[in-house]
Amino acid sequence: MDSRTAAERCAVVGDGSMGATLAHVMAAGGRECVLWCASPATAEAVNRDHRHPARPAHALDGGLRATTSLADALDGASLVLVAVHSTAFAAAAGEIGALARPEQALFSATKGIEHPSLRLMSHVLRDAAPECAVGTIGGTNITGEIMAGQLSSLVVASPSTEARERAARALAAPHLAISASADLFSVELVSVLKNTVSIAAAIGLGAGMGYNALGLVVARTLAEIRSLGAALGADPGTFDGPAGIGDIFLTASSPQSLNRRLGMELGQGRGLDEIVAGLPEVPEGIGAVRAVEPLAAGAGLSLPVCAAVADILEGVQPPRALERVLIEAYWKELG
Ligand SMILES: NC(=O)C1=CN([C@@H]2O[C@H](COP(=O)(O)OP(=O)(O)OC[C@H]3O[C@@H](n4cnc5c(N)ncnc54)[C@H](OP(=O)(O)O)[C@@H]3O)[C@@H](O)[C@H]2O)C=CC1
Ligand SMILES: O=C(CO)COP(=O)(O)O
C-alpha cells in the first residue's frame, strides 16, 4: 500500500528542470506530489517513463504524477512550489491565484525579477493570491547535482512560520542541507542579485583575465550588490550564507550554471542573442543585471562595476571594460 498521505500533498508548477527536480525530491521523500506541466509531452514522459525529456539520464521517483491540468495539480495541495521563468511567472501566478485556497502556501523557486515592474516573484504571488502565505527557495541548488544525490542546499524563506516549516518538511532529503528564514525579502533579493556577480566573474574568465582578476571582480561586484541590498532594506548577513556567497561561488564556478555560461560567452565576445539561442534555458541573470541600474538609481547609488556588466551584456562596451572600471574604482577611493 502507498503510504503517501493527503496531509503531505504538494504541487509543483513548472515543467523545467527545477520544477521536475523539486517534485522528484518531495515524491522520493514519500509525499504525494503532482507536477503541473505546460507541455503534454513532458507530462506523458514523466508519467510513462519517469524521466524528464531534458534530463533523460535521471530517473524520477515512480510515485510522482504529472498533469497538464492546473486545477488537478493544486487540488488538495497544502504546499505549492512555482518554478516558472520570471518572464512567464505573472501569467502562471494569475492562474494559480484564481484556483488557490487560503490554506495553501505558495513558494517561488525562481531566482528572477519581473520587468519593468521590478517585482520579486513572491510579490507576484502575493498580488495574485493575497490570502495565501508566500515564500521563496534560495540556496546552492543546481538541479543536475540534486538529481545525482549530491550535497546541495535549500533556503526556505517566508514570514509565515507554519509555511516555512511545511516547505522544509516537504523538501527534507538526506543530501539536502535545509535552512529556514523569516526574512523573505533578503533571501529573495540576494538570490536575484547574486547572478550579477556570477556573470561578472565569468565575463572576466571568458575574456582571458586571470584568477587575480577573478577574485577582484567577485569582491568588488559583491560589495556593490551588498550596498544595494542594504539600501533596499535587505539584511547584509544574507549575503554571507548559502543564498548569497554560496550561490555566487556555485554559479561563478560550475560548468552546469547557465549564468556562468552566459558570462563566459559574453567574455569571449559573443552577442547576447546568439548566446541565448545556444542555451537550453534563458538565464535569470539577464534580468538581474538589467534590474541593478534602476534599483540603484531609486536608492541614490552609483554602482560602476554592475553598470559595466550591464553595458557588456547589451554589447555597448567590450568585455575588457571590466578591467578599466575596476582600476578606476580603486584609484578613486585612494583619492
Ligand atoms: N535549473 C536550475 O538548476 C535551477 C533553476 N532555478 C530557478 O528555477 C527557475 C526555472 O528554471 P528551470 O526549471 O531550469 O527552467 P526553465 O527556464 O525552462 O523554466 C521552467 C518553466 O518556465 C516556463 N517558461 C515559460 N515561458 C518561458 C520563457 N519565456 N522563458 C523560459 N521559460 C519559460 C517553461 O515552460 P516551457 O517548457 O513551455 O518553456 C517551464 O515551465 C529559474 O527561474 C531558475 O532561476 C533555481 C535553482 C536551480
Ligand atoms: O541559482 C542556481 C543554482 O543555485 C541556478 O543557476 P543557473 O541558473 O546559473 O544555472
- ipTM of predicted complex: 0.91
Give yes or no for residue 19 CB within 6 A of ligand 1. yes
The answer to whether the beta carbons of residues 159 and 182 sit under 8 Å apart is yes
Question: Which numbered ligand comes closest to the C-alpha of 140?
Answer: 2
Give yes or no for residue 38 CB within 6 A of ligand 1. yes
Residues in the chain: 335
User: What beta strand segments (E) does the chain contain?
Assistant: 10-13, 33-36, 51-52, 55-59, 65-67, 79-82, 105-108, 134-138, 152-157, 176-181
| High-pLDDT (> 70) share of the chain, % | 98
**Residue 14 annotated in ligand binding:** yes
Kindly list the domain boundaries of the chain, sorted by start residue: 6-182, 186-334
- Given pLDDT bands bounded at 50, 70 and 90, which one contains residue 2? very low
Give yes or no for residue 111 CB within 6 A of ligand 2. yes
pLDDT tens digits, one per residue of 97-152: 999 999 999 999 999 999 999 999 999 999 999 999 999 999 999 999 999 999 99
Q: Is 194 a catalytic residue?
A: yes
Question: Distance between CA atoms of 106 and 97, rounded to whole angstroms?
Answer: 10
- Given pLDDT bands bounded at 50, 70 and 90, which one contains residue 1? very low
Cell 561578472 locates to 200
pLDDT tens digits, one per residue of 251-288: 999 999 999 999 999 999 999 999 999 999 999 999 99
Q: Is the pLDDT of residue 299 over 50?
A: yes
The atom number, within ligand 1, closest to the CA of 13 reads 41
If you average pLDDT over every residue of the chain, what do you get? Answer: 96
For residue 46, which of 6, 5, 17, 75 has the smallest C-alpha distance?
Answer: 17
Question: Which numbered ligand comes closest to the C-alpha of 280?
Answer: 1
Q: Torsions phi, psi of 292, nearest 5?
A: -60, -45
Q: Is the pLDDT of residue 333 over 90?
A: no
Model pLDDT, residue 4: 53
Question: Distance between CA atoms of 14 and 101, rounded to whole angstroms?
Answer: 19
pLDDT tens digits, one per residue of 16-70: 999 999 999 999 999 999 999 999 999 999 999 999 998 899 999 999 999 999 9
Which CATH number applies to 186-334: 3.40.1080.10, 1.10.1040.10, 3.20.20.140, 2.60.40.10? 1.10.1040.10
Question: Which numbered ligand comes closest to the C-alpha of 87?
Answer: 1
Superfamily of domain 6-182: NAD(P)-binding Rossmann-like Domain (3.40.50.720)
Which of 137, 179, 250 gets mutated to test ligand 2 (max ligand atoms within 8 A of its CB)? 250
Give yes or no for residue 142 CB within 6 A of ligand 2. yes
**Residue 121 annotated in ligand binding:** no
**Residue 17 annotated in ligand binding:** yes
DSSP one-letter code for 119: -
Query: Which entry of 123, 194, 220, 261 is annotated as an active-site residue?
Result: 194
For residue 281, which of 89, 18, 68 has the smallest C-alpha distance?
Answer: 18
Which of 60, 85, 153 gets mutated to test ligand 1 (max ligand atoms within 8 A of its CB)? 85
Cell 513572491 locates to 122
Contacts of 97 (CB under 8 A, 6+ apart): 125, 128, 129
**Residue 15 annotated in ligand binding:** yes
Distance (angstroms) between ligand 2 centre and the Cα of 257 equals: 5
Residue 293: all three cell numbers together: 541600474
Q: Is the pLDDT of residue 6 over 90?
A: no
